[in-house]
Structure 1
Amino acid sequence: MIPRIGPIPSHELFVALGVLAAAAVFFVEARRRGQRDERLLQVVMGALVGGALFMRLGTWFQHVDLRDNASLVEQWAYGNRSILGGLVGAWLGVHVAKRVAGYRLRTGDLFAPAVALGMAVGRIGCLLTEKPGTPTGGGWGITLDPGAAAATGGVAGVPLHPSFVYEIAFHLAAFVALWLWLRRKDLPPGETFVWYVAAYGIFRFLVEFVRGNEVVWAGLTRPQLFLAVTVPLVVVRIAWRWRSGAYRVVPSPTPVEVAL
């Protein structure tokens, strides 16, 4: 059984709470930065629609022979949900919505802290409903009872890595860094989201070793194969921008007093 809080499945509840938390942070940050254009609502809707579509359908292509994959209807109803697919879909949805709405300002600095906090809240639902991770000898492991083990595919009585706790801690730390430190830095518009994605991609690649997902090739899981291709591209982009001088802070000119 899926753990529930009242009549609502706990996974869906915390995903919804994560979306609400992300939306609140987004609009607070937009107000702080003076971005009050009504078209931002369309941009947020684009992120939500794109994220939802790719989260549900992002894991459809799992076999080279297309006949071995589920139909799109089956994938939507019963397939695995992918956070990485959701992030890609949200990114695409934002760009499509901005193009349709004619909104030209960068929005990455608004989305970065919002996504970090939303992910931290949403992952609580994963912690309550999914297999925590691989076996660990550490005293911090999570032990499943027989019912939870049967529901999640785990092993009862064996301490498992609390991989979702690791991820919640990462996103909370990222939110604090983005909200209290990076937002005060003179970075080019939109760059904080790029940094956040790069950091999360590296973290997620490493935490996959204790997540317990299916190994499909060369000792790596499907998320790791995806990240092995995409994260280097993001890191190279940051390095290129750095070498081109995009991150150099130009000091403000010192006021000169004029004698009258």
Structure 2
Amino acid sequence: MDLPFNPELFGVNINIHLILEYLAFFIAYRYYVFLRKRSTDVISSNNRLSIILGAALAALIGSRLVGFLENPLIEFTLKNAITLLNTKTIMGGLFGGLLGVELAKKIISEKQSSGDLFVFPIILGIFIGRIGCFLSGINEFTYGKVTTSVFGMDLGDGLLRHPTSLYELVFLTILFIALKTIHKTFRLKNGDLFKFFMLSYFCFRFCIEFLKPNVFYTFGLSSIQILCVICWLYYSKFIASLLLGKHLR
């Protein structure tokens, strides 16, 4: 199979990345509904809906904002403006959604942590989306730098590049299994599972960014790597408690 993968249906080219992106949202949400029915949710249905709406709106804003910050010096033209409006990143969506949840909880005076139910649906959704990124080859800015390693693949431009989307699929599989094991083995405080997910995923993305051909840096870091540092600072108290062994028991 050649990349980018552009299947045709009745003579019409199908945007496989867009199809899988919508499929990721649908399946992830259905998985969330399935998990919620099988668990005892300490948050009421009305408050849970408010939290989801707050997360969705903030995630939309955050994904576009961080997507823009990946190349803020782009020349302003109508074509580039449209491109920027369509540029998004899961990293901005995750951190924006986190802030949106916290704001929504303050507005509705909800004290309980709400993230644990979202962890595995989010991982599944990202996994499906990354398949679309891989199949899109160089059409999506998720590919890696040119490499001479045995992992190099031709993603559509005739050069051997790091298939960073495949690397992420492997990581997400390991993360899913690891968090499932932690969830079953240890008694975690409500909300800790989501924190483990965020710290693990943001750590991975910080490292994988070094394999990508980013074009804009601040202090030697890409905008996504800076966001990772901000996330670590946001969870600094939790990280400190982990180092003191107060969570996994």
Unaligned runs of 5+ in 1: 146-155, 250-260
* Deviation sequence 1:26-64 (CA, Å, 0-9, x none): 223323321173222332233222212221233345689
Q: CA deviation at 1:175?
A: 1.7
Structure 1 segments of 4+ aligned residues over 6 angstroms from their partners? 62-65, 67-71
Question: Deviation of residue 227 (structure 1)?
Answer: 2.1
C-alpha deviations, 1:216-240, integer Å up to 9, x for none?
Answer: 2454322123323432543x32233
1:13 correspondence with 2:19? yes
Q: CA deviation at 1:84?
A: 1.3
Contact 1:61 1:69 in 2 (8 A): no
Q: What is the CA-CA distance between 1:99 and the residue it aligns to? A: 3.9
Q: CA 1:79 to 1:191, structure 2 compared with 1: closer, same or farther past 3 Å? A: same
Q: Does 1:26 align with 2:19?
A: no
* Counterpart code for 2:153: I
Highest Rg: 1 or 2? 1
> What is the CA–CA distance in structure 1 between the aligned matches of 2:231 and 2:77, rounded to whole Å?
25
Q: Which residue of 1 is the match for residue 114 of structure 2?
A: 107
Structure 2 vs 1, CA of residues 78 and 128 (structure 1 numbering), >3 Å: closer, same or farther? Answer: farther
Q: How does 1:127-166 map onto structure 2 within 5 Å?
A: 127-129=134-136, 130-131=140-141, 132-145=143-156, 156-166=157-167
Report the counterpart of residue 81 of structure 1 in structure 2: 88
**1:50 equivalent in alignment to 2:81:** no
SS at match of 2:67: coil
Select between 205-214 and 104-113 the one with higher mean Cα deviation: 104-113
Q: 1:90 to 1:4 in 2, by over 3 A?
A: farther
Q: Partner of 1:107: helix, strand, or coil?
A: coil
Instruction: For residues 61-93 of structure 1, give each alpha carbon's deviation from its aligned partner in whole angstroms, at most 9, with x where no partner exists.
Output: 56899x98789x936864531221111121122
Counterparts in 2 of 1:216 and 1:240: CA distance versus 1, 3 Å:
closer
Structure 2 counterpart of 1:91: 98
Distance 1:182 1:64 in 2: 40
SS in 1 for 2:154: coil
Distance 1:29 1:180 in 2: 16
How do 1:236-247 and structure 2 match up within 5 A? 236-242=236-242, 246-247=246-247
Contact 1:14/1:124, CA 8 A, preserved across alignment? yes
- Give 2:55's aligned amino acid: A
- Aligned residue identity for 1:58: V
SS in structure 1 of the partner of residue 153 of structure 2: coil
RMSD: 3.3
Gap change, CA 1:126 and 1:9, over 3 Å in 2: same
Identity of aligned residues (%): 25
SS at 1:197 equivalent: helix
Gapped regions of structure 2 (runs ≥ 5): none
CA distance in 2, matches of 1:5, 1:241: 53
The SS at the match of 1:58 is: helix
Q: How far apart, in 2, do the equivalents of 1:63 and 1:161 lie?
A: 21
Supply the distance in 1 between the matched residues of 2:75 and 2:70 (Cα, whole angstroms): 8
Rate the CA distance shift 1:37–1:218 in 2: closer, same or farther, 3 A. Answer: closer
Quote the Cα distance in structure 2 between the aligned partners of 1:97 and 1:166: 34
Asked if the contact 2:119/2:197 (under 8 Å) is kept, the reply is yes
Q: What is the DSSP-based 3-state SS (H/G/I as helix, E as strand, rest coil) of the residue aligned with 1:241?
A: helix
Q: What TM-score do the two structures reach when normalised by structure 2? A: 0.78
Q: What is the CA distance between 1:183 and its match in structure 2?
A: 4.3
Partners of 2:151 and 2:21 in 1: CA distance: 25
TM-score (normalised: structure 1):
0.75
Say which SS state the counterpart of residue 217 (structure 2) adopts. strand
The CA deviation at 1:102 is 4.7
